[in-house]
Structure 1
Amino acid sequence: MTPKELKQILQALVEHGVNELTLETPDYKLTVRRGGEVQVVAMPQVVAPPPSPPVPVAPAPRPEVPAAPAPVPAPEPVQASPKEECAGCVEVKAPIVGTFYRAPAPDAPPYVKEGDRVEKGQVLCIIEAMKLMNEIESEVAGIVKKILVQNGEPVEYGQPLFLIQPV
């Protein structure tokens, strides 16, 4: 720090009525108290030790084992998407993330079963999210062709829940 910079700091203290100021840099720490002393403390320099030379490591001997050809996994059968299973069907998708329930209570009958006729706005299931029960309603009138989720399963946003054939 130059004497000019120190003078500017002291003038700023007086002008603004500051009683104490501490300025710390990697090289020094300066504490100034008005009406008192000026204390400059030199900070010790930390010097990293020089890097040690790399130690050569001999490669481990490789065992002489003939390599057997890796088995080729059989291709998994391609499953048709739920929409392809029912041409013309409307997918009812989960509007929220939560747990899927087919009935209003564990001992109650399910809202709908496959083959049931439903009206637009009829409750199809419940999705529980954050301890709130959200009724999911049918978007169309039709016949429930397929229920795509098991009772009690977690569902993601946008996951298909039902396939409904409009009538």
Structure 2
Amino acid sequence: MNEWLEQVEQLAQLMAQRGLTRLEIEIDDARVQLRRAPTPATPHDTETMPPLFMTGFPAEASPANEPEESRWTPPAVLEVRSPLVGYCTLAPIEVGKRVERGETLATIEVLGIPNEVSAPVPGILQEWAVENGQPVEYGQVIARLQPLSEE
């Protein structure tokens, strides 16, 4: 019974994260329908959510006439985070290998539904932060990339 309750709670979290007002799922002979009232996002809500990945881009572009030393430089390491709670299956990419923007790094499975997590920028895979098949939380670091220019 506790397992069902946990799964329903995960579905409710998924609905809130995706802004869904209705979700219906059928597994084997069990059927679950969830509904919630739409809630508009407030600035407070978005401030408390951890980012899915750190892009490393500044909030404002620096002027072109700024001295070279004070210009923004990209981060040495970019963290790719889980957008959902679920089980993580890692892509067969070895540490030290190059990945392209949009390349699938992992799949987060929530109640049998796969959700791909892609590389936000081209880069070198520096580290897997989770084990293959491990349960992950929302916002948990999955991988660390060394960003490369897109030339």
Using structure 2 for the length normalisation, give the TM-score: 0.47
Max Rg structure: 1
Higher relative contact order (CA 8 A, sep 6+): 2
Using structure 1 for the length normalisation, give the TM-score: 0.43
- Higher helix fraction: Structure 1 or Structure 2? 2
